[in-house]
Amino acid sequence: MKKVLLLFMLSTFSIVGQQIDLSYYLPKGNYNEKIPTPKSVLGYEVGEWHVTHDKLVEYMKALAVSSDRISIENRGTTFEGRPLLLLTITSPENHKNLESIRKRHIEATNNDAVDITKNPIVVYQGFSIHGNEASGSNAALAVAYYLAAADNIDDVLNNTVILFDPSLNPDGLQRFAYWANTNKSKNINPDPNDREYTEVWPRGRTNHYQFDMNRDWLPVQLPESKVRIASFHKWLPNILTDHHEMGSNSSFFFQPGIPSRTNPLTPQMNQDLTKEIGSYHAKAFDKLGSMYFSEESYDDFYYGKGSTFPDINGSIGILFEQASSRGHAQETENGILTFPFTIRNQFTAALSTLEAAKNMRVKILQYQQDFYKESRNTGFKKAIVFGDEKDGAKSYQLAEVLKRHQIKIHEVKDDFTQNGKNFKKGYSYVVPMNQKNQRLVKAMFDIRTTFKDSLFYDVSAWTFNHAFGVDYAENISLAKAGKEITELKMNTGIVSFKSDYGYLMPWNEYYTPKALNAILQKGLRAKVAMKNFINGDTSYDYGTVFIPVQNQELNADEMYQFLEKIAIESHVKIAGVTTGLNEGIDLGSRSFSAIKKPKVAMLVGDGITGNDSGEIWHLFDQRFDMHLTRLDMNYFTRVDLNKYTHIIIPSSRLEKDAIEKLKTWTTNGGIIIGYKNTVKWLASNKFITIDFDKTKMDTINDISFENRSLKSGAQVIGGAIFKAKVDRSHPINFGYKNDEIALFRKTTLFMKPDKKSYNNPIQYTANPLLSGYISKENAKVIKNTVPFKVQRLGRGSVIVFTDNTNFRGFWFGTNKLLMNTIFFGDKM
């Protein structure tokens, strides 16, 4: 071990401040001189600078032009318009028959009679899904060159189809490369305190909207994920590698992860093969003299990660984590860690993967074939059904995710009721369980409350029917299924007829905030119903929006045309009315409250959790077409706040000089919306009065020093789902038809309920856990606590949520809670 450490330190020290060339990375051998080297295109050696995405694209295109081993496709673009490239690398002969190879590979997963022994193995190699973990994409330059130019790899190319994704996160990679290169000195300074190693907010880890894209493999909400998942299902690769970085004082990790934290739906053979592949990595790193570890720190539980998603799809996902230089060279406890050294380790892992794939080809192909054979044979002849009789959009969005994963879905043949829930045709979907991807279906709708381990690298629950807030039932007869849906379409919005009196828009549909915002921005007046009523033969719930025709900016004809356009764009139904006389409150009643046009701001910058703020930004911008002014913490105290009606503070605390400014604005009528640890900050600075409950820890006995962190770690709620009862008459719950709601929780903030029940419109039940892990201690405390509070402060209001209502962009079921604070916050 000491010898290996010495080699590591010598190899990293030896290249600080020295020029390196491609030979530092490449195995010895002959290389085709007609293939352009990275330097010939980029103008510098690999590792000398951080490659920007545009230069990475330029080089990959140059390789595709010059090599008959490589083809290239652009599958789409990021939010910032960067191409999402995929290279297919294999032998020239395989390229001539590529589609036949792909079809035969897929057929083997559908038919166990297919002889797989002569099939090439398919390997998907993906780099730097976290953009500031850049050694992966920079290593992709050298790996791609090697595969295009090396003359002694025919055996690999003949027996392997490599799907090569050089940058899983182009926007983040570009952002980080700009930072690292801008702050690089001619004489590289490895002091960790140097500016080069401390990115400014929002940093390069995430995509444009600050999503962690390595959590989106299962929800598939982002454009980068959508094309990647399409490629995955098109080919069903046998191995998928995911190249990351970790803390600078570490070494190199490869899977398997911690055995006790493997998802129980993952076959044991998957882990056995992963470990066997790991022996090839170990051999390669031993030869190189690089330190490494395995079966520690990381796990294979959440199927939304790149290294775990393949495991529920008959493939083998492998995570690589390289200690990060976070720039060009940095002092660490293992010596000076250089950028080229990190690249070489990633390069080595990429090649050892291909070596394992070549030697284990038949065994791994057989595993995949057996996986799907078992899936087909164990799928029972029943179905699940999900939907929402008043919200077709949420149901559609969930169905779309299933379709992206090539899961078969059907219409509901006829309306029916199950377990007290109504499933309507056009609003509900049936998923047969006797299909090829039934294991993936189980994983998406899995409910689990008992675990081998109490620690999780990521969330412990993600049950999709709870996330999307739809009704759900299992063990449904296949007779309930109508025809299979091949082309999914969202319900069309409509205005029932032109009215000279007014229009009613129920608040149940997901995209009603988009429609209401457009109405208010047009300068039209709208009111919200604070009580139920019946107009004609139709019942209307709390939160129904009334748009009168008279005394508006538009005449009756113009208003009808405008609302018709809005209804179509927002997929909502708007009903014309001929009378204001109702059963219950009339349309002229004071129980219809005027809705003010919102002007919303959100704090961003240092101290703000980027994922949380990004998810809110994405919700406003992409889902509801609403303006959201992002105020940076650096200049917040200089901003005139009076132009804003709402300020969202997503998980942060402000400096003292901002407290009085914010408090004055609130007392003058502003509405603060605080999330997560902002709740405690607001309480401690007397914006809101909250009585918190705390977990009471039992005396800790029989815990060794070695395992001391396990007890405290077990108290973390890393991501679980809980049931709460709701008061539907309260404006925070407008648009929800059920008396209970599923909430995602990732904090241990426990707020005691108010003594007045009407001040607890959302309250956890006595046994709230629906799915996921919570410690026994926390389970006792969370009972009957509240995740939401609102209190008046002068003429304004302070609204707080203990947890994220917009988690990872796929928690559709609670998005409306935030929208209700925006449009109805002054009525709470």
Query: Under 8 Å CB-to-CB from 59, ≥6 apart: which residues?
Result: 36, 38, 41, 42, 51, 141, 144
Structural domain includes residue 358? yes
DSSP state of 757: G
Please tell me the chain's helix, strand, coil percentages from 3-state DSSP, rounded to the nearest 5.
Answer: 35, 20, 40
Contacts of 40 (CB under 8 A, 6+ apart): none
> Is 329 inside a domain boundary?
yes
Residue 452: what pLDDT?
Answer: 83
DSSP state of 109: H
Per the structure, the complete domain to which residue 159 belongs is given by 2-375
Q: Last residue of some domain: 545, 567, 594?
A: 594
Number of domains present in the structure of the chain: 4
Question: CATH no. for residue 286?
Answer: 3.40.630.10
Do residue 419 and residue 498 come from a single domain?
Answer: no
In a domain, 150, yes or no: yes
Query: How many Cα atoms occupy the beta-carbon half-sphere of 677 within 13 Å?
Result: 8
* Whether 384 and 369 share a structural domain: no
Looking at the fold, whether 534 and 584 belong to one and the same domain comes out as yes
Mean pLDDT within 404-419: 97
Q: Is residue 226 domain-shared with residue 362, that is, in the same domain? A: yes
- State residue 5's pLDDT score: 41
Span 681-689, average pLDDT: 96
- Confidence grade of residue 457 (pLDDT, cut at 50, 70, 90): confident
Cis check: omega of the bond before 202, within 30 degrees of 0: yes
Residue 242: pLDDT band by 50, 70, 90 thresholds? Answer: very high
Backbone angles phi, psi at 597, to 5 degrees: -70, 120
| Whether 655 and 787 share a structural domain | yes
Q: In the predicted model, is pLDDT for residue 382 greater than 70?
A: yes
Residue 94 has pLDDT above 90, yes or no: yes
Geometric angle at alpha carbon 299, from 296 and 300, rounded to 5°: 145
Model pLDDT, residue 709:
63
DSSP 34-61: TSPPHHHHHSS-BTTBPPPHHHHHHHHH
Tokens of 827: 């009525």
Residue 787 has pLDDT above 60, yes or no: yes
The pLDDT score that the predictor gives to residue 16 is 57
Query: Does residue 14 have a pLDDT over 90?
Result: no
Q: Is residue 436 part of a domain?
A: yes
What's the pLDDT tens digit per position in 247-305?
999 999 999 999 999 999 999 999 999 999 999 999 999 999 999 999 998 989 999 99
Question: For position 564, what pLDDT does the model report?
Answer: 98
For the segment 71-91, the average pLDDT, to the nearest whole number, is 98
Phi, psi of 316 (to 5 degrees): -120, 115
Give the pLDDT confidence score for residue 7 in this predicted structure.
43
Q: Is residue 489 part of a domain?
A: no
Look over the chain and give the mean of its residue pLDDT values, rounded to a whole number: 95
pLDDT at position 799 over 90: yes
pLDDT at 10: 40
Residue 271 lies in a domain: yes
pLDDT of residue 455: 79
CATH number of residue 395's parent domain:
3.30.70
Stretch 394-418: mean pLDDT: 97
pLDDT digits (tens, 9 = 90+) for 612-637: 999 999 999 999 999 999 999 999 99
pTM: 0.95
Model pLDDT for residues 648-671, shown as the tens digit of each residue: 999 887 888 889 999 999 999 999
The pLDDT of residue 9: 41
Which of 594, 626, 646 is the C-terminal boundary of a domain?
594
How large is the average pLDDT for residues 139-166? 98
Q: Say if residue 597's pLDDT is above 70.
A: yes
Sheet holding 762-771, edge to edge: 740-745, 720-726, 762-771
Determine the Cα angle at 221 with ends 374 and 762, to 5°.
100
Task: Dump pLDDT digits (tens) for 700-710.
Answer: 566 777 666 66
pLDDT of 119 > 50? The answer is: yes
Packing angle of the helix pair 170-182, 53-66 (nearest 10 deg): 110
- What does the pLDDT average to over 364-388? 93
Tell me, yes or no, whether 244 and 361 share the same domain.
yes
Which residues are CB-contacts of 755 (< 8 A; sequence separation ≥ 6)? none
- Looking at residue 256, what DSSP letter applies? -
Taking only the tens place, the pLDDT of each residue in 165-204 is 999 999 999 999 999 999 999 999 999 999 999 999 999 9
| Residue 289 sits in the same domain as residue 196 | yes
Say if residue 1's pLDDT is above 70. no
Beta strands 600-604 and 629-632 are parallel
The DSSP code sequence of 771-819 is ES---HHHHHHHTT-BSEEEEEETTEEEEEESS-SSGGGT-GGGHHHHH
Residues 254 and 360 placed together within one structural domain of the fold: yes
Q: Give per-residue pLDDT as tens, 542-553.
A: 999 999 999 999
Give 278-287's long-range contacts (Cβ < 8 A, gap of 24+). Answer: 278/254, 279/356, 280/352, 280/353, 280/355, 280/356, 280/359, 281/254, 281/349, 281/352, 281/353, 281/356, 283/352, 284/348, 284/349, 284/351, 284/352, 284/355, 285/252, 285/345, 285/348, 285/352, 286/4
In a shared domain, residues 462 and 499: no
Considering the domain architecture, whether residues 498 and 639 belong to the same structural domain is answered as no
In a domain, 511, yes or no: yes
Mean of pLDDT values over 119-141: 98
CATH assignment of the domain containing 790? 3.40.50.880
Q: With bands split at pLDDT 50, 70 and 90, how would you rate the model's confidence at 711?
A: low
Confidence check: pLDDT of 103 > 70:
yes
**15 in helix, strand or coil?**
coil
Whether 432 shows a pLDDT value over 60: the answer reads: yes
**Mean pLDDT across 69-93:** 98
Answer with the one of 338, 355, 375 that is the final residue of a domain.
375
Same domain, 408 and 282: no
Q: Calculate what percentage of the chain has a pLDDT beyond 70.
A: 96
pLDDT score of 18: 59
Least confident span in 23-32, 33-42, 64-73, 712-721:
712-721
Confidence category of residue 715, pLDDT binned at 50, 70, 90: confident
Is 388 found in the same domain as 295?
Answer: no
Is the pLDDT at 334 greater than 80? The verdict is yes
Asked if residue 699 has pLDDT above 90, the reply is no
- pLDDT tens string 736-785: 999 999 999 999 999 999 999 999 999 999 999 999 999 999 999 999 99
- Which tens digits make up the pLDDT trace of 478-533? 999 999 999 999 999 999 999 999 999 999 999 999 999 999 999 999 999 999 99
